[in-house]
Amino acid sequence: MKNIYLTNRFFWVLGGLAAFFALSFAIPLLFPVALIAFIVIMAVILLDGVVLFNQQMKVEAIRRLPKVLSMGDPNAVYIDLKNESSQKLWLNVIDELPVRFQIRDFERRVELEAGEELQMRYELTPYERGEYDFGAINVFIATRLGLLERRYRQEQEMRIPVYPSILQMKQFELSAFDKTSHKKGIKKMRRIGHSYEFEQIKNYVRGDDYRSINWKASSRRAGLMVNQYQDERAQQIYCLIDKSRSMRMPFEGLSLMDYAINTSLVLSNIALQKHDRAGLITFSDKMGTTLKADSKPSQLNKILYALYKEKERPKEANFELLYYAARKLITGRSLLLLFTNFESSYAMERVLPILRRINTFHLLVVVFFENTEIRAYAEQQVDTLEDIYHQTVAQKFLSEKTQMVQQLKQYGIQAILTRPEDLSINSINKYLELKARGLI
């Protein structure tokens, strides 16, 4: 039959029966017993098949997915199972996952009592943006005998897009505005000086800063009045993403560009929550997305869809093109976070004059990456002379990255050297620091 399958238990029983028959040829007295055993086993197999293909034997399976999946994060997938038959069943559930996951051995085994419902959960972590196609759900059911299986195929074809990490965006949004967020890596920055925007004049209460007392208003009201300030708003925050081949290097399944894309979404969301204006520019050998900074409610969705469509290019980055695009697009002093990667001091020195020109008109933060694999190699134990040589080269490479940061700071350019997995935390902290210091 089309949907009937033989189980391992079936082959074990068949193998045991064949061995018994072989023994009966050596001992003729056992042959009648072997024949009776064969008839009984065939009857049991037939009974198992009749029970399995009873019209009342039915199982329902429904897959539940989020509307979108988050790149680089574990995404929960649920399958609702229901045993609609009148007896206990043993199920083997095989979900047809998208080809991009390269998971060819997915299966889950569960037991369901008669009429029982069960929610099965598993997680998928996509490492590429784009559309993922899910296929059918195959449920193989067996009875207590377990000699045969019957397959139920539930057509559950779905196409789900994978977007930059929305889960990280929500997580860091909570951390940035939570009073206990310092425990999660977000640093609370002390506001330096009085670079606030004036909000209102209010009555003085114990604990207010006496330096904010408004003496003119106090004299008119015959009571102490103080000026109240709020954080400066409507400041322009741009994420500049390098899409060239230097950002194709993979770490933990994600490329450096994908780390930058996830962080850009996180940072844009926090900037909008703080009433700043968020924008986006991507570039490589030619310009990509140019999204002017804005604080409208729809701006985050525009940034999300733009990041979703971005693709790496196997070309060298044209920083001069970035300079002219920034001059034309960005009006007024803004905070620019440039996500790029320099593997040598020569590569950085080649574009340093352009970075200095950009920093003249804006506050530029250059964000590039530490090679964690080289760091791990440089810190491991070595025994041979050849290993010592290789480790010395690795340490020199790491030292060169640190020197790049110092060189950028000498020219007044803010810089972040970070591990890929710490990119979001370090970028948020730098944004909060610069905002607290009133440098934007």
Pick the CATH number of 166-190+233-436 from 2.60.260.20, 2.40.128.110, 3.40.50.410, 3.40.50.2000: 3.40.50.410
pLDDT digits (tens, 9 = 90+) for 144-202: 888 888 888 889 899 999 999 988 888 887 766 654 444 455 555 555 444 455 556 77
| 69: confidence class by pLDDT, cuts 50, 70, 90 | very high
Which bin fits 415, alpha (ψ -120 to 50), beta or left (φ > 0)?
A: beta
CB 130 within 8 A of CB 177: no
Q: What 3-state DSSP class applies to 92?
A: strand
Q: Which CATH architecture has domain 1-163?
A: Sandwich (2.60)
CA-CA distance, 387 to 17, in Å (whole number)?
60
Q: How far is CA 90 from CA 71, 270, 289, in A?
A: 34, 49, 53
> What is the distance between the terminal CA atoms of the chain, rounded to a whole angstrom?
73
pLDDT digits (tens, 9 = 90+) for 84-116: 888 889 999 999 999 999 888 889 999 999 889
Position with higher pLDDT, 205 vs 99: 99
Which residues are paired to 310 by β-bridges?
Answer: none
Helices 385-410 and 372-379: angle between axes, nearest 10 degrees? 130
* Number of neighbours of residue 230 by Cβ within 10 angstroms: 11
Pairing of strands 75-83, 197-203: unpaired
Domain limits, the chain: 1-163, 166-190+233-436, 197-230
Segment (H or E) for 434: helix 423-436
CA-CA distance, 370 to 380, in Å (whole number)?
17
CB 312 within 8 A of CB 249: no
CB 21 within 8 A of CB 28: no
pLDDT digits (tens, 9 = 90+) for 350-409: 999 999 999 999 999 999 998 888 888 777 887 888 878 888 888 888 888 889 999 999
CA-CA distance, 74 to 384, in Å (whole number)?
41
Residue 332, burial from CB neighbour count under 10 angstroms (0-12, 13-18, 19+): exposed
CB 415 within 8 A of CB 341: no
